[in-house]
A and B are shown apart, each in its own frame.
Chain A
Amino acid sequence: GAGVSQSPSNKVTEKGKDVELRCDPISGHTALYWYRQSLGQGLEFLIYFQGNSAPDKSGLPSDRFSAERTGGSVSTLTIQRTQQEDSAVYLCASRYGGAGTDTQYFGPGTRLTVL
């Protein structure tokens, strides 16, 4: 079946511009995660959605970052007023079952470059 998809695959933007990154999870997966992978920091958790519950935003690095998930499916991560340190690969993942027993399925990522 179809896996997690993300778009765009690459995004180059100028410092100060806003960007939107999209994630389509696997159909039926209720849990959705965003992670960031940068050279210096490795993979870091950003935000978590579960069904209709309020998201866990504890990993967002600043208030320039926000995310929403519409209809319990597609998610958009928005970065406002981008900075050069935002350059990284942004990965989305979804999960079907319980956190203790089921793995997360990752998309291919969006590579963001801020000039």
Chain B
Amino acid sequence: KQEVTQIPAALSVPEGENLVLNCSFTDSAIYNLQWFRQDPGKGLTSLLLIQSSQREQTSGRLNASLDKSSGRSTLYIAASQPGDSATYLCAVVRGSQGNLIFGKGTKLSVKP
């Protein structure tokens, strides 16, 4: 059974810091890994999708890496801003149907 774990559960940093969020998964047979952002009371917004054949993806200040063999992914946020405060969720797609298996998230707070 695929399990996804995110560490830390919560993180508080001052504005301007670079930070790393961690995600691990138990079964390396995945189609892709995705990072989402969730703001309070809202749905999920897709940030980055890394296909199983890829090693990383970048979007603006965000960079996500994938190491399938070790079952790990990291999300790197450069020069953090208060607007980055949200819960970040990691999820893997294991089967062809595409249903996501989520970690429990990292709640990020960026202090001005």
Q: Which residue in chain B gives the minimum CB-CB distance to A92?
A: B43
Asked if A80 is an interface residue, CB under 8 A from chain B, the answer is no
How far does the Cβ of B72 sit from chain A's closest Cβ, in whole Å?
Answer: 19
What would 11 more interface pairs be, CB under 8 Å, given A42-B104, A45-B99? A42-B103, A43-B100, A45-B101, A91-B44, A95-B98, A98-B98, A99-B32, A99-B93, A99-B97, A103-B34, A104-B98
A56 touching B103 by the CB < 8 A rule?
A: no
Q: Which residues of A contact B (CB under 8 A)?
A: 4, 31, 33, 35, 42-45, 48, 50, 56, 59, 91, 93, 95, 98-109
Please, what's the 1-or-0 string for B19-44, where 1 marks a CB less than 8 Å from any CB in chain A?
A: 00000000000011010100001111
Q: Which of B42, B89, B95, B96 contacts A43 (CB 8 A)?
A: B89
Q: Which of A101, A108, A109 contacts B51 (CB 8 A)?
A: A101
B97 touching A56 by the CB < 8 A rule?
A: yes
Q: Report chain A residues within 8 Å CB of B99.
A: 33, 45, 48, 56, 59
Please, what's the 1-or-0 string for B79-112, where 1 marks a CB less than 8 Å from any CB in chain A?
A: 0000000000101010111111111110000000
Given contacts A31-B98, A48-B99, A59-B99, contact A100 B46 (CB under 8 A): no
Residue among B89, B99, B101, B102 facing the most chain A CB atoms (10 A cut-off): B99
Asked if B12 is an interface residue, CB under 8 A from chain A, the answer is no
B43 touching A91 by the CB < 8 A rule?
A: yes
Q: Which residues of B contact A (CB under 8 A)?
A: 31-32, 34, 36, 41-46, 49, 51-52, 89, 91, 93, 95-105
A107 touching B101 by the CB < 8 A rule?
A: no
A109 touching B43 by the CB < 8 A rule?
A: yes
Q: Which residue in chain A gives the minimum CB-CB distance to B91?
A: A43
How far does the Cβ of A31 sit from chain B's closest Cβ, in whole Å?
Answer: 6
Q: Which of A45, A56, A101, A109 contacts B32 (CB 8 A)?
A: A101
Expressed in whole angstroms, the Cα–Cα distance for A43 and B76 within the complex equals: 23
